[in-house]
Amino acid sequence: MKLSRRDLLFGGAGALAGLVLTPVPWKLLSDVSIWTQNFPWIPQPAHGPVDTKFSTCTLCEGGCGLRVRMAAGCPVGVAGVRNHPLTRGALCPLAFAAHQLNWHPRRLREVRHNGRPASWSEAQAAFEKACGEGPIGIVDGRPGRAASTVFTAFTQKHHGSYQSVLSVESQALAPYADWSGLPVSSLGYDLENARTIVSFGAPVLDGWGTPGRFTRLWSEHAGGAADPQLRLIHIDPSFSRTAARAWRWVPICEGSEAQLAAGVARVLLEERLVSAKGPMPRLTLEDAAAQTDLSTEAIRDLAHTMVEHQPVVVIAADGNPSIAALNVLLGAVGAPGGIVRKRADSHPQASAAPAPSSLRALLVDSTVPWEFVTPASTEVFRFAAWDGGGESAGWLLPAPGFQEELTDVPTPSTSAREMYAVAANLVTPPAEIQSATQFLRQIDATLPEVEKVIHARCEEIFHAREGTVYGEHSVDVATVDTAAHLEEQLRQGAVWLGDSPVSAKFRCELKEWPTENRVSQGTSWASTWIPPVFPALATKLYQESTLRELPAWRLA
Amino acid sequence: MSARYGFVIDLDRCTGCGACMVACAAENNVPPAAPRATPRTGLTPMLVRKVSNGMDGIARREVFIPIACMHCGNETPCVSVCPQQAVEVDKATGIVMQMPQRCLGCRYCMTACPYHARYFNWWDPAWPTGMEKSLNPAVAVRMRGVVEKCNMCHGRLHSAMEKAAAAGRREIDPADYVPACAEACPTGAITFGNLADDKDPVSHAAHSPDAFRLLAKLDTEPKVYFKSQQAWVRGLADRESDRPSEVQNG
Amino acid sequence: MADLVVLDRRFIARGVERSSALRFMFWLVPWVILVGLGIYAAALCLFYGLNQTNMDNRFAFGMWIYLDLGMIALGAGAFFTGFLVYILKQEDLKPILNSAVVVGLICYSGAVAVLMVDVGQPLRAWFTFWHPNTHSMLTEVTFCITCYLFVLILEYLPVLLRNRQLRKVPSFLVFEHQLHKLVPVLAGLGAFLSFFHQGSLGGLYGVLRGRPFAFRQGFAIWPSTFFLFIISAMAVGPSFLILVTATAEAVTGRKLVQSTVFRKLGRISGILLGVYVALKAIDTLVWLNVTSRAVGFAPWDFYAYKPFGSALLFIEILPLGLLPVFLLTLPMTSKRRGWVLCGAALACSGILLNRFVLTVQTLALPTLPFDEYLQYIPSWQEVATFLGVIAYGVILYSLSYRYLPMFGQSKGVDKNVPVG
């Protein structure tokens, strides 16, 4: 029989109608939709055993407690620790995405020399050679750690020089160290007992010190109320976040903090608002008013307001001595609510010996900020976990990143009490990573191991029988049964906090008002964030919203 | 007993730090910005907006307003407009759930939402190599071309429910279910709780005289309340005050 | 080459004069290029994602949606002419019916093509049919437009099958004849479907409680914009037909329909436009003084942003609303072709402005008290895609005109038009 076109047409139409009644087209459609839900190029989270680990953040000196959720051996979420004595669950915005830092595109994964790939053995050989040829300097960005002990041991043995870089908060405490002869690391701010806090440009509500400490304190005792228990006065040329939430904002001309401090000091002394009798600044009130762009009335009013609710303490953004002198006048030095002395016998720091006139080589630890300038003539061995860009002369050595090495966390500079915590390595670092201490131990195996130093410190704390350990529950050290038990708790994320500053009293000798003509620079938030890069999700703050502007010195 | 989960956000305490924004993105597997992303094409299920009273000098006041999905309770605008029911209100919790797997990407819901709480995946999500290992396994990763928004950390509610079930309880322990933003807030400005529970402090705070909701006159019954002692801030509830301005730079 | 010319001639109906094949090819070239560019732009969007456009989270709907709504309004001539001819028995409009169907097909297929690129996940387009949301205007639009597109294709088929070569296939002739009997049913169905989706397109914005600029009170579940869109579509459909036909006449250099057809279409358009303007004026007053006040907007709050000032409202209602009503209905102008064309152009512009105001201006306006006014300028991909659709329309119309009996039997017209 001959097939006509009509037969084909009708046959085709019938087949089509029949097909619709079968599951075939519907299954194909739903397959298509399932495919659109599972595009092969969309990453899927790894699934594996879920665990929660506690640790302490090491990305700045704040030492905030971390609760890290792990899945399949990788950190997948970060939160604060509710019963951490200092932060009480608060963290800076960057911490919540810090667990992704180890995969930042600028993560260093290979040794580089003068911009070209090299190997660890080459770097080691070069360092050994340098050791033999002249004095070596070591720069430490976080003094007081177990690693710092290894550094000082090395420099003592090999006649080198040890240098520490102070955080900007530490620098603000430097004047008091100068005037009292005490080490900077033994001083702190007793904010918990202050009733008026005057900040000269320090972003106290936005990333200063241990970020959560003051935000929690302020929230409880002030919280934007019209007549708060804790008064925050913020002095800043710009309307910063701290200014927006402060009880009073005093807008001054940029760079005139020292002049305002002098003007206020004059009023305090002339009108006998403080018990101190001097030293009187040389600047007159009228000059101070002219240079700060405030009226003399405003300066007077500020001085009166400052002493209304005592204790009062002044916080400088950096080491401006004029502002520190104001604290001396106000009686805030060595008194509750002001600058206090933490337990004096904190881990002894090697005094920064004057550097030899020319160093053969310089080893810069990964805790040193990227902006640290190295002398041009020295061979530099720079440890870093992330590449901050710029010229790279010398050795660039890939160091452990976020929670990738066992280290300890010494007392944050702004804290009023001693603190000790241990950050265990939650993540196995990639094969090419080595820390500065591991590198040095390769060269000199007699150097102490970080783990052993930490062990010794835990023993010290145990034997001193003082302070409290804050883990799942808070426990007096006196009731802990063994040093090993204490160390185990610390290695699992607990925090030791010393007793209240017992020896708050100390004296500052100030003969005359500081004349150092120094322009104070307000710091912006995250100025103490060590890595040169922000976590990838920081784009939410800078690029995908207008909430913040990226600081010029940080790479997104 | 059904819950009505909601937030009370104290605007006098919010310092605009942005911790809630980053914590939300990390919890919900939101990708970092595509190279060409801008504030208008970003993916920020929680977004903090800076608003000023328009004055300068001493008279200047600024407030930071964290905005995420309001989980509207009355004739939810986005639910009624979605052509394929990719959004629905969970009767047991009051959470407005977005299903990215069913979303067609027509963006009609985005035009319907007066709070601008919905975001479109203009790009495929991409993380730097290896970073996908840090993704939260409790939350599905979306693909390009779909709309997403705050789901009140529904994954955490699930975990809380599983934990309660494992312990033989029917009700979850409130401490087990805290969305990432409330957990992250360093000043405690963002508080979360069950608005239907009289004993919940959040329910109490929502009824304080200082509390208000945005665009209350639209009658969408949002479950996010804001609180402030400053009258000009409370005036943001509706278009009663002189228009304040949003500050564009950080 | 000569073969192509012969082949081309074979498809053109006998006794009909058309320009040479070469000239026709030259005519097509720029449009084909535009279509190519449009396909390339659309491919970029499909491949890389919608970041290729300048739409963003505040302007979630942009130029494409605006032009979709505009095209569908302008393409209303298809259903309305069919309604007039087959339901209201206005036989003197029959000559223009086929071209109306072609215009309608172009507008609707173009709109659907653009929509497929506009959505983030085109492969999930069928979800609306599988999980329809009866509360959503967009569900209604999807269903109706899909069905109506199908209806338009069925209405186009008889025209297509009357091509000289295709007619030679007996089964096609039979099929076409059967279809022809169905046409009144299709016309009624088309009118019914169009009524709903034209209205639902208006309802899309009218139900948005979150956008007081667009939100309207209404009747039962339908906001007033539902009805306003239907009336405005019926008003502008005939005007657009007039413009398209006049353009075709200008390009081909031939008279395609009698001037009475233009006059009649113009008058129908003018009357409906008058009804529309009156209703819109009332609706605007209610919206400004009652609906918006209830949510805290004073009448002129919406027009505080200068580029979208109150002038736009007046332009829409007066020079682009009332003026064409007069031009198209008053005896002294409605009899003159020039004025009719002018009136038709103004009417179409007015409706396009109305769609623009409701799609783009709605999204530019702030909703939260601290929102900023935002600007949106389409990217080249968006423009190219849309120009590609227009070019596709020109090509389809040109091919239909060349090879198919678009303008049916009528005396007094050039005998270039085949009979039957």
Examine residue A483 and state whether it is found in any structural domain, yes or no: no
Burial, A431: exposed, middle or buried (Cβ in 10 Å; 0-12, 13-18, 19+)? Answer: exposed
Contact A496, A419 (CB under 8 A): yes
Q: Which amino acid is at A120?
A: W
Q: Are residues A173 and A272 in the same domain?
A: yes
Over range C410-416, report the average pLDDT.
44
The verdict on a CB contact (< 8 Å) between C370 and B236 is yes
Query: What is the band of A2 on the pLDDT scale with cuts at 50, 70, 90?
Result: confident
Examine residue A496 and state whether it is found in any structural domain, yes or no: no
Over range C347-376, report the average pLDDT.
91
Kindly give the interhelix angle for C224-252 and C259-286, rounded to the nearest 10 degrees. 150
Examine residue A197 and state whether it is found in any structural domain, yes or no: yes
Over range A345-363, report the average pLDDT.
65
Over range B74-83, report the average pLDDT.
94
Which helix (H) or strand (E) covers residue C346, if one does? helix C337-356
Contact A332, A306 (CB under 8 A): no
Q: Write phi, then psi, for A71 (nearest 5 degrees).
A: -140, 130
Whole-number pLDDT of residue C418: 40
Whole-number pLDDT of residue C222: 87
Q: How many helices (H) and strands (E) does chain B have?
A: 7, 11
Query: Which tokens hold the place of B172?
Result: 């979850």
Which CATH number belongs to the domain containing residue A523 in this structure? 3.40.228.10
Query: What is the band of C420 on the pLDDT scale with cuts at 50, 70, 90?
Result: very low
Query: Which tokens hold the place of A55?
Result: 């640790």
Contact C224, C284 (CB under 8 A): no
- Look up residue A544 and give its DSSP letter: S
Contact B146, A115 (CB under 8 A): no
Whole-number pLDDT of residue A347: 47
Whole-number pLDDT of residue A502: 56
| Pairwise CA distance, residues A188 & A498, whole Å | 13
| Pairwise CA distance, residues C82 & A177, whole Å | 94
Q: Are residues A97 and A187 in the same domain?
A: no
Q: Are residues A231 and A325 in the same domain?
A: yes
Name every chain B residue with its beta carbon within 8 A of the beta carbon of C368. Answer: 114-116, 214-215
Q: Using alpha carbons, list the distances in angstroms from residue B4 to B96, B171, B190, B193.
A: 11, 14, 17, 8
Nearest C-alpha in A relative to B138: A45
| Pairwise CA distance, residues A288 & C131, whole Å | 73
The verdict on a CB contact (< 8 Å) between B44 and A43 is no
Over range C162-181, report the average pLDDT.
81
pLDDT tens-digit map of A300-335: 999 999 999 999 999 999 889 999 999 999 999 989
Whole-number pLDDT of residue B242: 43
Range 176-205 of B in CB contact (< 8 A) with C: none
Over range A326-355, report the average pLDDT.
76
Q: Are residues A240 and A284 in the same domain?
A: yes
The total number of structural domains in chain A stands at: 4
Whole-number pLDDT of residue B249: 43
The verdict on a CB contact (< 8 Å) between C370 and B243 is yes
Residue B224: strand pairing partners? B7
Contacts for A103 with CB less than 8 Å, ≥ 6 apart: B127, B128, B129, B130, B131, B133, B134
Whole-number pLDDT of residue C11: 86
CA quadruple A470, A471, A473, A478: dihedral positive or negative?
A: negative
pLDDT tens-digit map of A375-432: 888 899 999 999 988 877 899 999 999 999 999 999 999 999 999 999 999 999 999 9
Whole-number pLDDT of residue C177: 80
The verdict on a CB contact (< 8 Å) between C120 and B145 is yes
Q: Using the structure block, give the residue that is written with the tokens 């927006």.
A: A244
Name every chain A residue with its beta carbon within 8 A of the beta carbon of C169. Answer: 5
Query: What is the band of A352 on the pLDDT scale with cuts at 50, 70, 90?
Result: low
| Pairwise CA distance, residues A306 & A311, whole Å | 9
Q: Using alpha carbons, list the distances in angstroms from residue A513 to A263, A323, A353.
A: 12, 10, 29
pLDDT tens-digit map of A426-479: 999 999 999 999 999 999 999 999 999 999 999 999 999 999 999 988 889 989
Question: Is the per-residue pLDDT at A485 higher than 60?
Answer: yes
Instruction: Say whether residue A15 is in contact with chain B using an 8 A CB cutoff.
Output: no
Q: Which of A81, A103, A125 is the last residue of a domain?
A: A103
CB hemisphere CA count around C416 (13 angstroms): 19
The verdict on a CB contact (< 8 Å) between C127 and A35 is no
Nearest C-alpha in B relative to A90: B186
Tell me if the bond preceding A279 is cis, omega within 30° of 0.
yes
Q: Are residues A210 and A286 in the same domain?
A: yes
| Pairwise CA distance, residues A330 & A316, whole Å | 14
Range 241-300 of C in CB contact (< 8 A) with B: 294-297
Q: Are residues A248 and A203 in the same domain?
A: yes
Question: Is the per-residue pLDDT at C419 higher than 50?
Answer: no
Residue B66: strand pairing partners? B48
Q: What's the pTM? A: 0.93
Nearest C-alpha in C relative to B119: C57
Nearest C-alpha in A relative to B229: A225
Angle CA C53–C59–C63, to nearest 5:
55
The torsion defined by the Cα of A434, A437, A442 and A443, in degrees rounded to 10, comes to 130
Over range B101-128, report the average pLDDT.
95
Query: What is the band of A540 on the pLDDT scale with cuts at 50, 70, 90?
Result: very high
Contact C111, C68 (CB under 8 A): yes
Q: Are residues A174 and A322 in the same domain?
A: yes
Q: Are residues A66 and A193 in the same domain?
A: no
Query: Which range is least confidently modeled, C33-37, C57-61, C258-262?
Result: C258-262
pLDDT tens-digit map of B184-218: 999 999 999 999 999 999 999 999 999 999 998 88
Q: Which of C37, C225, B127 is nearest to A104 (CA)?
A: B127
Which CATH number belongs to the domain containing residue A464 in this structure? 3.40.50
3-state secondary structure of C211: coil
| Pairwise CA distance, residues C111 & C158, whole Å | 23
Q: Which strands make up the sheet holding A196-200, listed edge to edge?
A: A248-250, A231-235, A196-200, A312-316
Instruction: Say whether residue B236 is in contact with chain C using an 8 A CB cutoff.
Output: yes
* Domain C55-376, CATH: 1.20.1630.10
Domain around B94: 5-247
Contact B208, B52 (CB under 8 A): no
**What is the rounded average pLDDT for all residues in chain C?**
89
Whole-number pLDDT of residue C299: 77
Contact C403, C163 (CB under 8 A): yes
Question: Is the per-residue pLDDT at C297 higher than 70?
Answer: yes
| Pairwise CA distance, residues A361 & A133, whole Å | 9
Question: Is the per-residue pLDDT at A346 higher than 60?
Answer: no
Q: Are residues A161 and A248 in the same domain?
A: no
Which helix (H) or strand (E) covers residue B49, if one does? strand B47-52
Whole-number pLDDT of residue B236: 83
Contact A102, A89 (CB under 8 A): no
The total number of structural domains in chain B stands at: 1
Examine residue A173 and state whether it is found in any structural domain, yes or no: yes
Q: Are residues A212 and A260 in the same domain?
A: yes
Nearest by CB to residue B229, choosing from A37, A224, A547, is A224
Task: Name subunits touching B (3+ CB pairs < 8 A).
Answer: A, C
Domain around A433: 112-166+355-409+424-468
Over range C84-91, report the average pLDDT.
89
Over range B27-50, report the average pLDDT.
96
Angle CA B173–B177–B180, to nearest 5:
160
Examine residue A533 and state whether it is found in any structural domain, yes or no: yes
Over range B98-114, report the average pLDDT.
94
Over range A191-210, report the average pLDDT.
94
Question: Is the per-residue pLDDT at B246 higher than 80?
Answer: no
Over range C151-174, report the average pLDDT.
85
Whole-number pLDDT of residue B23: 98
Question: Is the per-residue pLDDT at B250 higher than 70?
Answer: no
- Tell me how long chain A is: 556
Whole-number pLDDT of residue C8: 86
Distance from CA of A41 to the nearest CA of B (A): 9
Tell me the range of A106-120, A488-502, C247-261 where mean pLDDT is highest: A106-120
| Pairwise CA distance, residues A256 & A519, whole Å | 7
* Helix boundaries (H) for chain B: 19-27, 77-81, 108-112, 154-166, 180-184, 201-206, 231-234
Nearest by CB to residue B129, choosing from A44, A103, A538, is A103
Whole-number pLDDT of residue A159: 85
Task: Name subunits touching C (3+ CB pairs < 8 A).
Answer: A, B
Over range C114-130, report the average pLDDT.
92
Q: For every residue of C88-123, which 3-state class applies, written as one string? A: CCCHHHHHHHHHHHHHHHHHHHHHHHHHHHHCCCHH
Examine residue A333 and state whether it is found in any structural domain, yes or no: yes
pLDDT tens-digit map of B128-180: 999 999 999 999 999 999 999 999 999 999 999 999 999 999 999 999 999 99
Contact B184, B19 (CB under 8 A): yes
Count CB neighbours of C225 within 10 A: 28
Q: Are residues A126 and A18 in the same domain?
A: no
Q: Are residues A16 and A38 in the same domain?
A: yes
Q: Using alpha carbons, list the distances in angstroms from residue A72 to A38, A45, A491, A506, B134.
A: 21, 10, 21, 52, 10
Contact C57, B115 (CB under 8 A): no
Report strand pairing: A379-384 vs A161-164: unpaired
